[in-house]
Structure 1
Amino acid sequence: MTMGSYNGLPLDDDILDRIMTFCPTFGTLQSTILVSKAFHRVFQAHPKSINRSVAYNIVGPALPQALRVVRYPYDGYTSDGDPSTMAEVCPEDHDPSVITAEEKETLQENSRVVAVLEDIYSLTNKDRTSKTSVLTSEESWRFRRAMYRIMLYCHLFPGNRYSKEEIDPSDEELVDKIRKQRISILSDYPTDDLRELHSAVKFLCNIFDSVTNAQSNVTEALLSTGPSGVLRAWQHRSYHVLEDDIDLMFFEDDEEIPIFIKSTARTTPARVVLPPGGLKLYTAANWDRFPIILTNLLKNNLKLNQTVAQPFYAATAHLVNSDALGPFLGDLFALKIHTAPAFDDWEKTDSYCFMCFTKFLEEHLWIWFLEERTKGGWTSPEDCWYGWNCRTQVHKPSHAETKNHLCIPKKGDPA
């Protein structure tokens, strides 16, 4: 053991080596190496093992699968060749080969994508109250391993590999070749691992279904964009963000498209990573995904009164498909109105079903809007006796404009 003393570091070389192996990112490792000549010297002596340790800190135990992704395309393998040779060219192993600067960058980006997807998976399948993953270490490893394998699959068979003009579903020879290529890749995994992949694909399907209105041909095609495509669609709440990654012309027809992943996840349950769950109850962690148009939740006939609905839509437009929706809905719990005593004991830390939470919003959005307009300088005209229940406000613009309907009915049925 050599004692380092430069820059006040009287530490053994093996301790300096150990310190570097605990770096959480490659950027941190680089900064550590620049701290002193002692760190630099030790790193130069053991670059493979130190880089490998930091890569493991970033990716976790799914590192073999993650490295397999970043090292595609491989020497000796082409997408036009026999895919069954891919396993031999770049097997899933723990080979301590040098990790290049480009591979480090891609490893970190792919790890970010997989980590965010794990958070979403945990939220939608395990604990709907936590926006960060609560998967066990075993569950997390299974999930991440499956994600990296799907990434690899989608690198091998990208959605832009063929154009619509090149694919003829009646060309049985071409379709059979494509299917055999895919089968040869999947056949490399043991049965239990295939079940994990199936569970992961089901999860990805569910995300795409939520942004495509469950058009099966669209979902199957979009899966070819892989986990990164799924994450972008989730974040933008639309699949149109992927138009540069895949030919959207494929989606114009209802016929099945033979070149994409064919998921059986819709008919066969997968309980490998976790039992299926979902956003069946709503909490502060998933309010931003509440699937309803706020304008439709205006009280009774207010939604049909354009003098109310239009400015309400303008006031809430920034909440559409936005993470800002969650905090906004949480603030409604601070509104206590005597017309809705059933909600007096509601707390935003609790869980609510879709129907109940919808009713809560109907009872509170109108009063929020009234307060918001008043704060903005709006002067309320005389209240209509029938308030939000008024039918005249729907078909008589002059009445809608000259009377205030954001109020409790004084006549008629207030319910």
Structure 2
Amino acid sequence: MRALSALPLDDDIVDRVMTFCPSFSCLQATILVSKAFYRVFQTHPKAITRAVAYNIVGPGLPQALRVLRYPPYNGPDADAIEMAEACREEHGASVITAEEKQKLRENAEIVGKLEDIYSLTTKDRTSKRSVLTSEESWRFRRAAYRIMLYCSVFPGNRYEFDEIEALDDQQIEKIRGQRTAMLNRYQTDELLELFSVVKFIQGILSSVVDDDQSNMVDILLSTGPEGAVLAWEERSYDALEMDLLGDGLLHDDEDNKLFAGYFTLTFENIWTRRNLKPPKEEDPASKWVLDEVIGANDTCSQCAAPGGLQLLTSANWDRFPVSPTACLKNKLKSNASIIGPFAQATAHLANLPSHSLFLGIHNAVNQAALGAWITEIFDVRRAPGFEVADGWDVGASYCAACLSRFLEEHVWVWFLEERVKSTCLCVSASMLTVPAAGWVPPEDCWYGYNCNTQTHKAAHQTGKNHLCVPTRGSA
């Protein structure tokens, strides 16, 4: 029905307009448009606010709200069943406070980033943004928020190492019973979805620890989706240790008795209770969440090696475990007069946290910059046999070996061009900054990047240009 006001819209249309607001700030601005909008909002404040919350969070809103509203933890002696049933997932309209709105936005951003990573690594390697269907996204987000709740009730920063050591075996078993009860309330199909997302998060965390540090993964899992996103973005667990974990938890060589089997023991207990066959170790993280995996059987565009989601594309080659210096051609890697300037030219790629162990790379590169740099290398494409006509296209998919081969053939050409065209600012007599000329290469060495002498004779390193194709054999 149209209100008795100057606004030429029915109240139900005004109501509908507000439910489409993409954020709470947009809703607030819409409410202030006119008294008519304000009056309609006051008629249905809970329903309209919840609709906007769904726009922000998605269909996982009941799970997201439970994360915020779950009561404080009362310790090992709290009743496990009461904990499992506390603050059930609410599907009806309710008042959402200003503090809850802020936290919903923050958690939705974390879960959204995690879904993008999940999509890139398990659904479609060619898109940085999630391409999950609405049904797949709902399964993923519902599981992610339930994991977030579990990790907020049993977080890694509740206790410091000395406090954990003081817990007796009976207290540890009670806490494990509470964890089991928390997850046991979910239906089996939902629990399997949660299991898949946990496995995905485990994969992220395993990638930032060394092989002999596998006992740390259970502790890192306690940081939940937020920790997984930080670990992915930083390729390190530094930020987790500083902000999300208790003091000393990661500095014990033995399994931490409180966190050992943080999720695995809980799942095992539930499979046993329900007399279910546990999921197979080799089951992918896409199982029970995705209906379809795109490009699972794809092969390298150059050598036809199978790779599927592990193939490298412009969307994911910022994850390529490569050191820029290692891409220099042949003996150039050992030319001291080249290594210094090359390090300066690639300084924007540097990112060296103390625990950068992603895929064995101790000197990690800046993730955001690496992808753009490889794209820039593709713009060079000068070596014979590496033309677009030969299939070397920026939009194609490559195995690690082929992409490494491409980079080795072209990084030195890119560096030569960068070095020649580079300018610096110097101060003139008139106090004006003027560009100085770029590097002028000396005479080419006959043996170019294959030259052996460049590796040990300083005068030859600087007296000849080795950023060139050999015209003779090696020397």
* 1:356 and 2:402 are equivalent in the alignment: yes
Residue 202 of structure 1 corresponds to 199
Residue 316 of structure 1 corresponds to 346
Rounded Cα–Cα distance in structure 1 between residues aligned with 2:456 and 2:141 = 56
Residue 3 of structure 1 corresponds to 3
After superposition, give the CA deviation of every residue in 1:67-119 in whole Å (9 maximum; x if it has no partner).
Answer: 10121336xx6345224313332012313221111111111111111111111
Q: Which structure shows the higher helix fraction?
A: 1
**CA 341–24 in structure 1, closer or farther in 2 if over 3 Å, else same:** closer
Rounded Cα–Cα distance in structure 2 between residues aligned with 1:338 and 1:44 = 68
Residue 235 of structure 2 corresponds to 237
Query: Are the aligned partners of 1:202 and 1:263 in contact in 2 as well (CA < 8 Å)?
Result: no
Gaps of 5+ in 2: 265-278, 297-307, 350-364, 423-437
Residue 289 of structure 2 corresponds to 273
Residue 295 of structure 1 corresponds to 325
Rounded Cα–Cα distance in structure 2 between residues aligned with 1:341 and 1:413 = 23
Rounded Cα–Cα distance in structure 2 between residues aligned with 1:268 and 1:47 = 48
Given residue 250 of structure 2, which amino acid in structure 1 is its aligned partner? F
Rounded Cα–Cα distance in structure 1 between residues aligned with 2:367 and 2:80 = 41
* 1:246 and 2:245 are equivalent in the alignment: yes
**CA 279–297 in structure 1, closer or farther in 2 if over 3 Å, else same:** farther
Residue 74 of structure 2 corresponds to 78
Query: Are the aligned partners of 1:385 and 1:410 in contact in 2 as well (CA < 8 Å)?
Result: yes
Report how many residues are paired: 410
Residue 403 of structure 1 corresponds to 464
* 1:390 and 2:387 are equivalent in the alignment: no
Displacement after TM superposition at 1:4 (Å) = 4.2
Rounded Cα–Cα distance in structure 2 between residues aligned with 1:223 and 1:410 = 56
* 1:25 and 2:55 are equivalent in the alignment: no
Given residue 324 of structure 1, which amino acid in structure 2 is its aligned partner? A
The two structures have a TM-score, normalised by structure 2, of 0.81
Rounded Cα–Cα distance in structure 1 between residues aligned with 2:129 and 2:417 = 34
* 1:41 and 2:86 are equivalent in the alignment: no
Residue 135 of structure 1 corresponds to 132
Residue 327 of structure 1 corresponds to 372
The two structures have a TM-score, normalised by structure 1, of 0.92
Query: Are the aligned partners of 2:151 and 2:222 in contact in 1 as well (CA < 8 Å)?
Result: yes
Given residue 249 of structure 1, which amino acid in structure 2 is its aligned partner? G
Given residue 78 of structure 1, which amino acid in structure 2 is its aligned partner? N
After superposition, give the CA deviation of every residue in 1:299-342 in whole Å (9 maximum; x if it has no partner).
Answer: 01111112112221221121222312212211222213244547
How do 1:371-386 residues align onto structure 2 when only pairs under 5 Å count? 371-376=417-422, 377-386=438-447
* 1:337 and 2:353 are equivalent in the alignment: no
Displacement after TM superposition at 1:284 (Å) = 0.8
Report sequence identity in percent: 57
Given residue 334 of structure 1, which amino acid in structure 2 is its aligned partner? D
Rounded Cα–Cα distance in structure 2 between residues aligned with 1:252 and 1:169 = 17
**CA 379–47 in structure 1, closer or farther in 2 if over 3 Å, else same:** same
Displacement after TM superposition at 1:169 (Å) = 9.4
Gaps of 5+ in 1: none
Given residue 105 of structure 1, which amino acid in structure 2 is its aligned partner? Q
Rounded Cα–Cα distance in structure 2 between residues aligned with 1:380 and 1:353 = 35
Displacement after TM superposition at 1:367 (Å) = 0.5
Residue 218 of structure 2 corresponds to 220
Rounded Cα–Cα distance in structure 1 between residues aligned with 2:107 and 2:208 = 22
Query: Are the aligned partners of 1:387 and 1:408 in contact in 2 as well (CA < 8 Å)?
Result: yes
